Structure 1
Amino acid sequence: MSATRMMILGLVKWMQPVHGYDVRRELLSWGADRWANVQPGSIYHALRKLTEEGLLRAVSTEQVGARPARTTYEVTPKGEDEFEGLLRAQWWQVQERPDPFTAAFSFLPALPRDEAAAALRNRANLLRAGIESMRASLESDWIRTSKPVHVGWMFELWSARAEAEMAWCERVADRIDSGVSYLPAGPARGEGWPGWSDGEPGRTADAK
């Protein structure tokens, strides 16, 4: 929710006075639902909540014909303080992000080796396709002529992260194919993991 609050407050500050519809449209044009987990359905709710908290001010509400009423918002001084606090907290901290793949990878021994290696190489291919798409965007007029310079830098960050993960996927897939054991190397090898498969059907830690 903090990312949603920060982005809505920041956008209203930049665009004010601004309709909630335009805030939503701008956030979706950024793809914020993908990389900041700003859910489209939560934006209007967040605008109302921020207004209730005194962080935004509803300047006016207008209705044209049968269209839904549109409220125009501005940031209050309290909202500006909140935005700056949230902004600086993200700039000066490194936070772990939930990653379903990491959760699944922690159960690597549950998959046959050939499937695990194939899945990692498939993931690498998907990442490669995404990198190529980002590079195409960076070279396009859409980035160069219609977006601030730092938007291109954001694409560079996403591309660098994807390249690192792609290389990791390929490297680990090769290790899995090599037959390296998943079990600890120490004298207590496999102890405490009786049902842990070593990536081979029927081969568990207690069968070492």
Structure 2
Amino acid sequence: MMILGLVQWMQPVHGYDVRRELLSWSADKWANVQPGSIYHGLRKLSDEQLLREVATEQVGARPARTTYEITEKGVAEFQSLLRGNWWSVAMPPDPFMAAFSFLPALPRAEAAAALRNRAVQLAAGIKQLQAALGADWAEHKPPYVSWMWELSIERSAAEIRWCERIAGLIESGASYLPPGMADQPAPGWAEGLSPGAVDELSPGAVDELLPRPEGKIAN
């Protein structure tokens, strides 16, 4: 959808300009658009008759540059994808959710520390976005670009609150299981620690297990 929309917006346009525009939006971080796949995507969309090649030019020894326009079929496909994403809520795959589903496999101290470490990384990401919003270049972008980043900030802020709350519950000894069931990890979980040792890791031992936050947004 991103490539179709940009070609329609910028046409006639070279693949290089589509790639540069997407990177200026940091679309590789939030739209699952990888820079190396853009040229392949343009060719594939052309093969599917959603785009058409209108010219190919070469300057000196540089690689040939193809100019694209969107077709009527491509416009219809873009509008279908656009409205589908506007009017529906889709949960993107999140590796953390898969890991969290095995919460009892971690010692409580490590799980709580990992959640707080996640909150630190999210807070660093918020600072990066806030700095970008205040940068001069943002003044030359449409205002809705800032609105998109504000949404990312709000989502991260909500997750930080969740991380802190759940870390507190884990540290308090809140049961992971329904009432009446033993709150013990399954055999072999928690790196082979015995049930009695799971909650006895010292904070220093947990620190040795965790990566140091570097102030980057987790991918």
Q: Which has the higher contact order (CA 8 A, sep 6+)?
A: 2
Q: CA deviation at 1:199?
A: 11
What CA distance in whole angstroms lies between the structure 1 residues aligned with 2:129 and 2:151? 10
Q: Which residue of 1 aligns with 2:151?
A: 157
1:57–1:8 CA distance, 2 compared to 1 (3 A): same
Contact 1:11 1:23 in 2 (8 A): yes
Residues 73-118 of structure 1, C-alpha deviation per residue, up to 9 Å, x if partnerless? 0011111111111000000000121000010111111111111111
Are the equivalent residues in 2 in contact too, given 1:12–1:18 (CA < 8 A)?
yes
> In the alignment, what sits opposite 1:3?
none
Q: How does 1:69-80 map to 2 (within 5 A)?
A: 69-80=64-75
Instruction: For 1:169, give the aligned amino acid.
Output: C
User: Secondary structure, in 3 states, of the residue corresponding to 1:180?
Assistant: coil
User: Could you tell which deviates more after superposition, 64-73 or 171-180?
Assistant: 171-180
Shift of 1:65: 0.6
| Among 16, 32, 35, the residue aligned to 2:30 | 35
Q: CA deviation at 1:198?
A: 8.9
Give 1:109's aligned residue.
104
Structure 2 unaligned blocks of 5 or more:
197-219
Asked if the contact 1:183/1:198 (under 8 Å) is kept, the reply is no
Q: Please say if 1:172 is aligned against 2:163.
A: no
Where 1:71 maps in the other structure, the secondary structure is strand
SS at match of 2:16: helix
Q: In 1, distance between residues paired with 2:6 and 2:151? A: 22
**Alignment of structure 1 residues 20-169 onto 2, 5 Å:** 20-143=15-138, 145-169=139-163
Q: Which amino acid aligns with 2:124?
A: A
- 2: CA distance between counterparts of 1:194 and 1:136? 45
TM-score, normalised to structure 1, is: 0.88
Q: Distance in 1 between matches of 2:45 and 2:23?
A: 19
- Percent of pairs with identical residues: 65
**How far apart are the structure 2 equivalents of 1:203 and 1:166?**
29
CA deviation after TM superposition for structure 1 residue 183, in Å? 2.1
- RMSD of aligned alpha carbons: 2.0
TM-score using structure 2 length: 0.84
The Cα shift of 1:141 comes to 2.0
Give 2:215's aligned residue.
none
Equivalent pair of 1:17/1:74 in contact (CA under 8 Å): yes
Q: What is the rounded CA distance, in whole Å, between the counterparts of 1:203 and 1:106 in structure 2?
A: 19
Quick check: 1:18 aligned with 2:18?
no
**Aligned match of 1:184:** 178
CA–CA distance in structure 2, aligned partners of residues 121 and 27 of structure 1: 32
Tell which deviates more after alignment, 107-116 or 153-162.
107-116
